[in-house]
């Protein structure tokens, strides 16, 4: 039987991306289709989405619109791979410039509950044949934006007395919970008893994330270690009891890399192409990066790169503290990121203090992200917590050693260059244990020490480049999960 699955999310690479979620929602459905599944995506019609989809045509008018004057469902396809994508056109909700979640003052839009309730409601309608030509067996909701889909699905199942579709919820990040005031519950049109501790109520408020977790038939998250971590008080965000209670329905499936987008051998965004057997192009990428940022042109100065959202999660305050170590030892640092004002200011200050050795670009720039990963010797991901993390996987593919905190998906994907791991031929990067500045500083010192032992460095780098984090294996696991449910 061909499994029909609808992925419900708010981002999709390359149309709209603020982080790794977009990479996953583009690559996973495509990988599922490769395996014979019939996968489609449902997204809000944000400006970039409406402008980027090809062959958009109306499918149905949406009866409920959560206060927006008009909402319709359209179907198009993603140029490039022809992935079928449903889009909710409700311009007053979604056609806003800038971030899909925040206004110009970086404050969440006041109507986010309604905007994302519409997304969830439309998903449940699709499961009830809103499109007469296609309905999913599985509704697969990603992160809090899509959490209500599973509540509406449960409500429909109860009303009809039989399952209209089964629900899977994937946690990409437990730190964003979609919390809204309890008064808004009435507007959602859900059964009154759903406002309950066993439901979408969360400490007197509404949580769209909790709705997803509570009403899902299966819960997944994006690495095995994070699946364990979120069942603890330290990392459960107040939801650890729920998650622990559902441990038998919770599984960690590692994200993959879309090597069509992230391969140094055929990446048009970088200065020169290279591969594990022909590495000279990487030196050209490094020189081009130093030149672009007016750093001292030194091929033997290790370049440390960062491509990241600048948020508390990413642990870059530690890097600011450890940065003198890089500069003092003759290394260089290139940072691309956007987010918290204090982190932006901190890195901008460091770049002013050390113009030859530290460079910062504040903003979101997909091409530059590729250039930095290709031109760097080390990519730093010192996150406080990290559900999976994709940048360290891209770093491995591009022969930049990931330097990571041992947490979440970082712990599952990088093997430390300890003496014994070097001797055993398993090292792929640098891993530090304690989330403290001196632990990061020590890891930076180890990076310099390894860099000076060029044979060990080259072997470690080559090992990382040969690793396969393609989507095939993970997509198989999702498919097996769907089959279990249908």
The contact set with ligand ADP (CB under 6 A) reads: 19-21, 23, 307-309, 336-338, 364-366, 369, 388-391
Contact map string, positions 315 to 354, toward ligand GLC, x by CB under 6 A: ----------------------------------------
Q: How far is CA 383 from CA 308, 350, 391, in A?
A: 10, 20, 11
**Residue in the shown chain whose Cβ atom is closest to ligand GLC:** 20
> How near is the Cβ of 295 to ligand GLC at its closest, in Å?
29
Three-state SS for 390? coil
> How near is the Cβ of 131 to ligand ADP at its closest, in Å?
30
> How near is the Cβ of 84 to ligand ADP at its closest, in Å?
23
Which of 29, 256, 315, 389: binder of ligand GLC (CB under 6 A)? 389
> How near is the Cβ of 450 to ligand GLC at its closest, in Å?
25
> How near is the Cβ of 360 to ligand GLC at its closest, in Å?
21
Asked whether the beta carbons of 6 and 140 are under 8 A apart, the reply is: yes
17 forms part of the interface with ligand GLC (CB under 6 A):
no
Burial (Cβ within 10 Å: 0-12, 13-18, ≥19) of residue 67: middle
> How near is the Cβ of 371 to ligand ADP at its closest, in Å?
10
- DSSP 8-state assignment for residue 456: H
Question: Which of ligand ADP, ligand GLC, none does residue 235 bind (CB under 5 to 8 Å by kind)?
Answer: none
Three-state SS for 333? strand
Three-state SS for 120? helix
199 or 387: CB nearest ligand GLC: 387
236 forms part of the interface with ligand GLC (CB under 6 A):
no
Nearest alpha-carbon partner for 331 in 371, 367, 380: 380
> How near is the Cβ of 103 to ligand ADP at its closest, in Å?
20
Question: Which of ligand GLC, ligand ADP, none does residue 74 bind (CB under 5 to 8 Å by kind)?
Answer: none
User: How many residues are recorded in the chain?
Assistant: 486
Q: Could you give the angle at the alpha carbon of 458 between the alpha carbons of 455 and 463, nearest 5°?
A: 125
255 forms part of the interface with ligand GLC (CB under 6 A):
yes
310 forms part of the interface with ligand GLC (CB under 6 A):
no
Cα–Cα distance measured from residue 88 to residue 344, given in angstroms and rounded to the nearest whole number: 34
Cα–Cα distance measured from residue 319 to residue 322, given in angstroms and rounded to the nearest whole number: 5
412's tokens = 């599952």
- DSSP 8-state assignment for residue 162: S
> How near is the Cβ of 387 to ligand GLC at its closest, in Å?
4
- DSSP 8-state assignment for residue 108: B
130 or 168: CB nearest ligand GLC: 168
Stretch that binds ligand GLC, among 14-22, 125-133, 266-274, 423-431 (CB under 6 A): 14-22
> How near is the Cβ of 222 to ligand GLC at its closest, in Å?
4
Cα–Cα distance measured from residue 361 to residue 199, given in angstroms and rounded to the nearest whole number: 43
- DSSP 8-state assignment for residue 257: B
25 or 290: CB nearest ligand GLC: 25
222 forms part of the interface with ligand GLC (CB under 6 A):
yes
Sheet strands (E) in 230-386: 250-252, 303-310, 332-339, 358-362, 378-381
27 or 156: CB nearest ligand ADP: 27
Asked whether the beta carbons of 414 and 383 are under 8 A apart, the reply is: no
Nearest alpha-carbon partner for 376 in 483, 274, 301, 449: 301
Stretch that binds ligand GLC, among 15-23, 236-244, 298-306, 453-461 (CB under 6 A): 15-23
Which of 20, 84, 382, 402: binder of ligand GLC (CB under 6 A)? 20
Sheet strands (E) in 340-452: 358-362, 378-381, 401-405, 430-432
Three-state SS for 385? coil
Burial (Cβ within 10 Å: 0-12, 13-18, ≥19) of residue 472: exposed
239 forms part of the interface with ligand GLC (CB under 6 A):
no
449 or 473: CB nearest ligand GLC: 473
24 forms part of the interface with ligand GLC (CB under 6 A):
yes
Instruction: Kindly list the strands in the beta sheet with 205-207, ordered across the sheet, starting from the edge strand earlier in the chain.
Output: 179-180, 205-207, 201-202
Stretch that binds ligand GLC, among 18-26, 132-140, 190-198, 256-264 (CB under 6 A): 18-26
431's tokens = 């891993």
Cα–Cα distance measured from residue 288 to residue 372, given in angstroms and rounded to the nearest whole number: 10
195 or 364: CB nearest ligand ADP: 364
216 or 390: CB nearest ligand ADP: 390
258 forms part of the interface with ligand GLC (CB under 6 A):
no
> How near is the Cβ of 202 to ligand ADP at its closest, in Å?
22
What does the buried/exposed string (b/e) look like for 88-119 if buried means 16 or more CB atoms within 10 Å of the residue's CB? bbbeebbebeeebbeeeeeeebebbbbbbbbb
Question: Which of ligand ADP, ligand GLC, none does residue 222 bind (CB under 5 to 8 Å by kind)?
Answer: ligand GLC
75 or 351: CB nearest ligand ADP: 351
**Residue in the shown chain whose Cβ atom is closest to ligand ADP:** 20
Three-state SS for 308? strand
Chain positions 166 to 185 lying near ligand GLC, rule: CB under 6 A, are: 172-173
Question: Which parts of this chain interact with ligand GLC (CB under 6 A)?
Answer: 19-21, 24, 172-173, 222, 255, 386-390, 409
């Amino acid at each position: 039987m061909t499994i029909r699955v609808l992925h419900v999310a708010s981002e999709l690479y390359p149309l709209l991306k603020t982080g790794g979620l977009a990479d996953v929602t583009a690559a996973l459905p495509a990988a599922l289709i490769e395996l014979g599944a019939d996968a489609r995506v449902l997204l809000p019609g944000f400006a970039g989405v409406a402008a980027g989809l090809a062959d958009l045509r109306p499918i149905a008018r949406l009866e409920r619109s959560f206060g927006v004057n008009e909402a319709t469902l359209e179907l198009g396809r993603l140029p490039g791979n022809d992935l079928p994508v449903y889009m909710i056109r409700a311009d007053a909700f979604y056609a806003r410039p800038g971030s899909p979640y925040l206004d110009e003052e970086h404050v969440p839009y006041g109507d986010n509950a309604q905007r994302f309730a519409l997304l969830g409601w439309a998903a449940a309608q699709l499961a009830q044949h809103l499109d007469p030509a296609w309905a999913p067996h599985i509704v697969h909701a990603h992160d809090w934006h899509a959490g209500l889909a599973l509540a509406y699905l449960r409500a429909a199942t109860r009303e009809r007395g039989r399952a209209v579709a089964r629900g899977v919820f994937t946690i990409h990040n437990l730190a964003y919970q979609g919390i809204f005031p309890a008064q808004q519950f009435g507007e959602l049109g859900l059964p009154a008893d759903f406002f309950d501790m066993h439901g979408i109520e969360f400490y007197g408020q509404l949580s769209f994330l909790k709705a997803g977790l509570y009403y899902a038939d299966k819960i997944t998250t994006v690495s095995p270690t994070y699946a364990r971590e979120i069942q603890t008080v330290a990392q459960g965000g107040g939801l650890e009891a729920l998650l622990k209670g559902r441990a038998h329905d919770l599984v960690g499936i590692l994200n993959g890399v879309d090597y069509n987008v992230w391969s140094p051998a055929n990446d048009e965004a970088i200065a020169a192409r290279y591969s594990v057997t022909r590495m000279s192009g990487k030196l050209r990428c490094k020189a081009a990066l130093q030149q672009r940022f007016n750093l001292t042109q030194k091929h033997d100065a290790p370049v440390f790169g960062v491509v990241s959202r600048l948020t508390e999660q990413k642990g870059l305050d530690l890097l600011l503290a450890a940065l003198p170590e890089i500069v003092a030892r003759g290394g260089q640092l290139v940072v691309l990121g956007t987010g918290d004002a204090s982190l932006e200011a901190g890195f901008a200050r460091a770049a002013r203090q050390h113009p030859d050795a530290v460079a910062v670009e504040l903003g979101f720039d997909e091409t530059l992200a590729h250039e930095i990963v290709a031109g760097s010797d080390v990519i730093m991901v010192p996150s406080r917590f990290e559900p999976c993390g994709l940048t360290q996987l891209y770093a491995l593919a591009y022969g930049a050693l990931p330097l990571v905190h041992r947490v979440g998906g970082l712990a599952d994907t990088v093997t430390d260059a300890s003496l014994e791991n070097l001797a055993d031929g398993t090292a792929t990067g640098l891993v530090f244990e304690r989330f403290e500045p001196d632990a990061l500083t020590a890891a930076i010192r180890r990076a310099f020490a390894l860099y000076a032992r060029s044979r060990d460095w080259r072997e470690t780098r080559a090992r990382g480049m040969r690793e396969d984090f393609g989507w095939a294996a993970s997509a198989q696991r999702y498919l097996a999960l769907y089959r279990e449910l249908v």
